[in-house]
C-alpha cells in the first residue's frame, strides 16, 4: 500500500508538473508570439479611411476643373456677345470736306477722303449727296466759310449793297410722294448772314477782304433712302474758303 501510494503520488506530481509546463508554454506563446485579436480590423479601418479621403480629393479636383471650364466658357461667351454688341452699336456718321469746283454752279464739291472727312455705318456720299442708310433720328449740319470784298467799316451803310451769304441744306424723301426720276427737294436748313457792303468791283478789298462763316444744324427724323444736299448762291461760291476745317457737311445717327 505504501509503495503504491508513493508511485501514485509520483505519477500525479509528474502529471501536474507536465500540465503546468504545457499551460505556461501556451500562455507564453500567446503573449509573445501570437498577434492581438483586434489587429486585422484596425488595419482594414485605416485602409477604408484612406480610400475615402482619396475619393474626396479626386471629387474636389473634378469639381474645380468643371467650374474653371464653365467660367472660361462664360468669359468667352461674354467676349463674343460684347464684340457683337459693339458692332451692332456702331452709329452711322459722315463728315465731308468742301472744296470750290468752278464746274458746279449751285453747291460746293463735297469730298469724303480728305483731311478729317470720314464715314461709317453705311452713311455714304453719292453724286455730291448724303444717302441715309436706315430710318431714325439724325443730326444734320453744315458750314460754309467765305472771304468777301467789303467797302468801308461794318457800320457804313451808304456804300454799296450788303453782301448776304446764304447756305441751304435740302432733303429728298420717298415720303414726299415724288419718284426717283423727278426728285423734288425740300429745304430743311437755311442760314443767312449779312457780312458787309460790297466793294465797287465785287472783289475782296485791299488787305484780303472780310471772312464770314455761315453754320446751320438741327435734328431730323429721316427715312431709309433719303438724300441730303447743299445749295448756295452762285456768285458767292467763288469766295468760298476751302481750307481744312472751314467748309464741311455731315450727319450722324442719334
For domain 93-253, the CATH class is mainly beta
CA–CA distance, 249 with 227 (Å, rounded to integer): 13
According to the model, what pLDDT value does residue 179 have? 63
CA–CA distance, 214 with 165 (Å, rounded to integer): 7
According to the model, what pLDDT value does residue 73 have? 63
CA–CA distance, 53 with 65 (Å, rounded to integer): 19
Within 8 A by CB and 6+ apart from 224, the residues are 132, 133, 134, 135
Domain residue ranges in the chain: 2-86, 93-253
According to the model, what pLDDT value does residue 200 have? 55
What value, to the nearest 5°, has the Cα angle with vertex 12 and ends 8 and 18? Answer: 145
What predicted TM-score, i.e. pTM, was given to this entire model?
Answer: 0.61
According to the model, what pLDDT value does residue 48 have? 81
CA–CA distance, 106 with 232 (Å, rounded to integer): 5
Report, as ranges of residue numbers, the positions in the chain whose pLDDT lies below 50.
1-13, 15-16, 19-36, 154, 203-207
Torsion from C-alpha of 243, 244, 247, 251, nearest 10 degrees: 160
Please say whether the dihedral angle defined by the alpha carbons of residues 240, 241, 246 and 248, taken in this order, is positive or negative: positive
pLDDT digits (tens, 9 = 90+) for 96-146: 999 999 999 999 999 998 888 999 999 999 999 999 999 999 999 999 999
Cell of 108: 460746293
Amino acid at each position: 500500500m505504501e509503495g503504491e501510494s508513493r508511485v501514485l503520488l509520483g505519477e500525479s506530481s509528474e502529471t501536474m508538473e507536465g500540465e503546468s509546463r504545457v499551460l505556461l508554454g501556451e500562455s507564453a506563446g500567446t503573449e509573445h508570439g501570437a498577434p492581438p485579436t483586434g489587429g486585422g480590423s484596425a488595419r482594414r479601418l485605416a485602409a477604408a479611411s484612406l480610400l475615402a479621403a482619396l475619393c474626396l480629393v479626386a471629387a474636389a479636383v473634378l469639381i474645380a476643373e468643371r467650374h474653371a471650364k464653365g467660367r472660361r466658357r462664360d468669359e468667352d461667351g461674354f467676349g463674343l456677345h460684347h464684340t457683337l454688341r459693339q458692332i451692332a452699336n456702331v452709329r452711322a456718321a459722315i463728315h465731308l470736306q468742301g472744296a470750290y469746283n468752278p464746274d458746279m454752279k449751285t453747291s460746293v464739291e463735297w469730298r469724303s477722303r480728305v483731311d478729317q472727312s470720314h464715314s461709317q455705318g453705311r452713311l455714304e456720299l453719292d453724286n455730291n449727296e448724303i444717302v441715309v442708310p436706315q430710318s431714325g433720328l439724325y443730326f444734320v449740319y453744315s458750314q460754309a466759310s467765305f472771304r468777301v470784298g467789303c467797302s468801308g467799316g461794318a457800320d457804313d451803310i451808304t456804300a454799296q449793297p450788303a453782301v448776304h451769304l446764304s447756305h441751304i441744306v435740302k432733303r429728298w424723301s420717298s415720303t414726299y410722294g415724288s419718284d426717283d426720276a423727278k426728285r423734288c427737294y425740300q429745304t430743311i436748313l437755311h442760314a443767312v448772314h449779312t457780312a458787309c457792303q460790297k466793294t465797287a468791283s465785287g472783289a475782296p478789298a485791299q488787305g484780303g477782304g472780310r471772312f464770314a462763316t455761315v453754320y446751320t444744324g438741327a435734328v431730323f427724323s429721316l427715312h431709309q433712302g433719303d438724300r441730303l444736299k447743299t445749295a448756295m448762291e452762285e456768285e458767292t461760291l467763288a469766295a468760298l474758303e476751302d481750307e481744312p476745317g472751314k467748309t464741311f457737311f455731315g450727319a450722324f445717327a442719334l
